[in-house]
Structure 1
Amino acid sequence: MNSAFTPALAAITQEISYGSLPPDVKTVARQALMDWVGVALAGSNEDFVHSMARVLSAQGGAAKCTTIGHALRLPSVSAALMNGLCSHALDYDDVHFAIPGHASAPVLAAALAVAEDIGSSGRELLEAFVAGVEVSCRLGIAMAPTHYTMGFHATATIGSFGAAAATAKLLKFNLEQIQSTFGVVATRAAGLKAVFGTSCKPLQAGNAASAGVLSALLVQQGFDSTKDVLDHRLGFPATHGGGNNLQYGLEAPRSVSDFSLSPEFSKEADAAFHLQLTLFKYHATCYETHSAIECALKARSRIGGRVDAIHSVSVEVNAHCDDICNIQDPNNAFEAKFSLRAAVAFALLGIATGDPTQISEANLNAEVAKNLMARVTVILCHDVPVPVARMRVELIDGTSIVEENDSSVPMTDLVAQQYKLDRKFFALVSPVIGTDRAKELHRQIGNIDNSKNITDMMTSLSLQDRKET
């Protein structure tokens, strides 16, 4: 196996600097931070988040770092765990096909905890974030497609390395220390797709953030590990289904829109950093349902919302969706996020899938939704690209409506993207902290580049009146 990959990723981590980042990369970094904050605050009141808060509160430790949406303060390792859980609680955080998974959730949860702990500046936070995402994406490409198709949850496994890289960057590690950090975190990187549709999916994002922080802090204190864990014949790629494509992770950013294929079928992207290929979510469901939702919305518009006119709906998707988002008969709101049938029915009914509160058991169990879901058939295909959905709606009068959508293309108009993300941010954050505080938080994030430390922003993310019982 090539022996250059581990030191190459360490060098990339070390070399990224705020001053050398193109303006568009800084813009997307701020947008991703804002989106992460919004979904984390909105997810901070979920029942399983309170369960975690009670456990971590009982465990105790130095009260140094903010927990999103709570009064609880924790050590950086525990805060990263808690905040990573919050950021993925609604499954509404951004995604990246290179990983494939959620790029920002574990990296920002780790970076924010450490940056607050050691007093890093906003610029140091952003460069650590960019470095963490870059490492995650390059390792994800190097391990495609086997790692994910074997059943690993790449957000958790690959994301652990991104969280470790971001932490190492903030701690200003040298190359040897970064390589050792990768060696430590490789022994802690874990996560399975088998738990999708349960609270363990967001738990895995929190675990990745926590593992990254702990691994770097151990190295800082002299902990040792192998320095070639990504190249060793028994290292992470070799044992986790991704030892044959390491060279692709060392090339220019790639647009890996179909991770069911080897990266050799992907295309070089017009991007300096992988962060620019981030895909933001505007539906609070698994991203692999989004193309089907978009098809359903188009079809709904064409029939004027008359769902009673629908005889049947068929949705063709890539066969890999069967392991991710094909829960046929979801029993609760969380399972509904991973059900193509539920997502399509909600969209056809005009239920606002961009509002997490509308992905609810009440809407799921409504008779009209159940009747419509019964008419939706998911067809698993090997010739449909992963991000594509093809839908045929057969009407009672014999008319057929055919739609297709590809959810893998990032927006290039960053001003338009900012507008969409602003609307999402205020819709998520204002109900949690109020409109005035939401506006101030929005301003702080937009001005993060000029912050000497991130303390004020982190203080804005806590809720002192939310107690754990």
Structure 2
Amino acid sequence: MSFAFELAGRASAITLDTMPPEAGRVAARAFADTIGTALAGCRAGFLDGIERALEIAADAGPATKIGRHGRCHPLQAAVINGTAAHALDFDDCSTTMGGHPSAPVVPALLALAQDRGSSGRAVLSAYLAGVELELRLARAVMPHHYEKGWHPTATLGVFGAATASAHLLGLDPERMATALAIAVSMASGLKSNFGTPIKPLHVGQAAYNGLLAATLSEQGVTASHSAFEHEYGFFNVLNGAGTFDPQRALGDWLTSPDVLSPGIAIKQHPCCGSAHSAIDAALTLHRRHGPFRSGEITAIETWTHRRRLAHTDRPRPKTGLEAKFSVQFLTAKALTAGIVRLGDFDDSTFLDADTASLAALTRSIAHDEPNEYLGRVKVTLGDGRVVEASASTEFGRGPLNPMSDDELEAKFVDCAGASLDEKRARSLFRAILALDRAPSIEGIMTATQQG
């Protein structure tokens, strides 16, 4: 039996009824968080360029562009909404995946569900199947996959999107396996483009390619079911011999799903998750001793795991987007302001005088301790005092430290603020959490658009 078929058989068995009851709540919250982050990211300037490149005509299809005007073909909506969901790097995270599980999957499902008139319950079941598959596949290839330079949110997310779309289409395991085999040839995304608009485009492209793979399979297009394990297949080409273990992806998915443990974490800070531990350590110092001002400090030192520092060591960010990947900027912002907000990354205002001065004083050091999420911040004050703190934040608020629904709603309202007034945003949030009772998602998607 091919590896693609092994995966498809397990994913096909997943529904809201076969998974633990808590999984449905996790899925609904993931939809709320992803739609919220798309509402926040939908005004990124580069999305206009993507729309022009795709030649999207006004109201040329059934699928909604979240927070933007008009409708389009489902494949176009998948790439636009997927890119928007990751545009601000504020979408949910998984330590298993080393990336963002929902952003490639939710946009593909929303576009397809609008086109096919699917129920909310069917959409949530498909989401759980797709995300569980991409997380299980991550177990087979991580951490080498990430260390080699691949962007797992894209290279693994495409399989989540393909699986979820195939599940929503009602494809049997044979055709779902074909969709996965097609997606093997569409898996891409390199870390060299982190800190640029191409990183969020990776996610939009994964949503697009996953949806395309499933619809191609539905139309009878075939592919090699040995595309994963082949000599020139996914494992050997993207990872390399001796760096993967397909058996780690198998086992019983229903009794101990990865979506529940280690689970999905919701981001509290709107920036790269690899900097969250340093931010949280700096926030601890702000609560104890702050706020800090540039004239009071002579030196700042941060420690981040070598793997995480590799793409957050940007001492002099030139744009708001680069600042999201600068542990120096983010530490300085947390020390001065006591919070990191969406508005802190506006290109015209992000580098205020205090933050710029403190970022310039910050020296970031790599550590190799077993806890790769550990971050430390040490501040030397002008009077000679030294204050320091540490934190270990696994990319966001996960099952061990979950966001309450009220906290998630506050994040949603903040994210939606550029597109919706507070009343509409709160109403939309409540509707998404009740997605399992919705006969369709049309009302929810219509409510995401500008008035």
Q: TM-score, normalised by structure 2?
A: 0.94
Number of aligned residues: 445
Q: Amino acid of the residue matched to residue 102 of structure 1?
A: H
Q: Amino acid of the residue matched to residue 324 of structure 1?
A: H
Q: Residues 369 and 430 (structure 1 numbering): CA distance in 2 closer, same or farther, change over 3 Å? A: closer
| Match in the other structure for 2:369 | 383
Match of 1:16 among 14, 19, 36: 14
Match of 1:272 among 257, 265, 269: 257
| Match in the other structure for 2:114 | 116
Shift of 1:7: 2.0
Q: Residues 375 and 251 (structure 1 numbering): CA distance in 2 closer, same or farther, change over 3 Å? A: farther
SS at match of 2:239: coil
Q: Residues 57 and 24 (structure 1 numbering): CA distance in 2 closer, same or farther, change over 3 Å? A: same
Are 1:418 and 2:405 matched, yes or no?
yes
SS at match of 1:441: helix
Q: Is the 8 A contact 2:228 2:235 kept in 1?
A: yes
Q: Amino acid of the residue matched to residue 259 of structure 2?
A: H
**Long gaps (5+) in structure 2:** none
Q: Residues 90 and 319 (structure 1 numbering): CA distance in 2 closer, same or farther, change over 3 Å? A: same
Q: Distance in 2 between matches of 1:459 and 1:370?
A: 41
| Match in the other structure for 2:27 | 29
| Match in the other structure for 2:246 | 246
Q: Distance in 1 between matches of 2:320 and 2:270?
A: 11
Are 1:327 and 2:314 matched, yes or no?
yes
SS at match of 1:392: strand
What's the CA shift string for 1:326-384, capped at 9, x where partnerless? 1221001000000000000110111631x211223344432222211121111012225
| Match in the other structure for 2:175 | 177
Shift of 1:436: 2.3
| Match in the other structure for 2:297 | 310
Q: Which region of structure 1 is more displaced relative to structure 2, 3-12 or 205-214?
A: 3-12
Q: Residues 362 and 368 (structure 1 numbering): CA distance in 2 closer, same or farther, change over 3 Å? A: farther
Shift of 1:58: 4.2
| Match in the other structure for 1:230 | 228
After TM superposition, list the pairs within 5 Å mapping 1:199-214 onto structure 2: 199-214=197-212
SS at match of 1:444: helix
Q: TM-score, normalised by structure 1?
A: 0.90
Match of 1:444 among 431, 436, 445: 431
Shift of 1:163: 0.3
What's the CA shift string for 1:367-421, capped at 9, x where partnerless? 2222111211110122253221122222222322221111127544788532211
SS at match of 2:380: strand
Q: Is the 8 A contact 1:193 1:323 kept in 2?
A: no
Q: Amino acid of the residue matched to residue 315 of structure 2?
A: Q
| Match in the other structure for 2:347 | 361
| Match in the other structure for 1:42 | 40
What's the CA shift string for 1:26-53, capped at 9, x where partnerless? 1111111111111101111111112222
Q: Amino acid of the residue matched to residue 142 of structure 1?
A: A
| Match in the other structure for 1:463 | 450
Q: Which region of structure 1 is more displaced relative to structure 2, 320-329 or 212-221?
A: 320-329
Shift of 1:4: 5.2
| Match in the other structure for 2:185 | 187
Q: Distance in 1 between matches of 2:190 and 2:400?
A: 35
Q: Is the 8 A contact 1:411 1:417 kept in 2?
A: no
Shift of 1:315: 1.0
| Match in the other structure for 1:140 | 138
RMSD: 2.0
Q: Distance in 2 between matches of 1:384 and 1:42?
A: 35
Q: Distance in 1 between matches of 2:426 and 2:397?
A: 26
Match of 1:218 among 205, 216, 219: 216
Q: Which region of structure 1 is more displaced relative to structure 2, 403-412 or 310-319?
A: 403-412
Q: Amino acid of the residue matched to residue 439 of structure 1?
A: R
SS at match of 2:23: helix
Q: Is the 8 A contact 1:176 1:227 kept in 2?
A: no
SS at match of 1:204: helix
Q: Distance in 2 between matches of 1:26 and 1:306?
A: 43
Shift of 1:61: 9.1
What's the CA shift string for 1:296-327, capped at 9, x where partnerless? 01111221313343221111111112432112
Q: Distance in 2 between matches of 1:26 and 1:378?
A: 41
| Match in the other structure for 1:265 | none
Q: Distance in 2 between matches of 1:89 and 1:246?
A: 32
Q: Amino acid of the residue matched to residue 246 of structure 1?
A: P
Q: Residues 413 and 158 (structure 1 numbering): CA distance in 2 closer, same or farther, change over 3 Å? A: closer
Q: Is the 8 A contact 2:281 2:389 kept in 1?
A: yes
Match of 2:333 among 346, 349, 356: 346
Q: Distance in 2 between matches of 1:133 and 1:233?
A: 27
Q: Residues 128 and 40 (structure 1 numbering): CA distance in 2 closer, same or farther, change over 3 Å? A: same
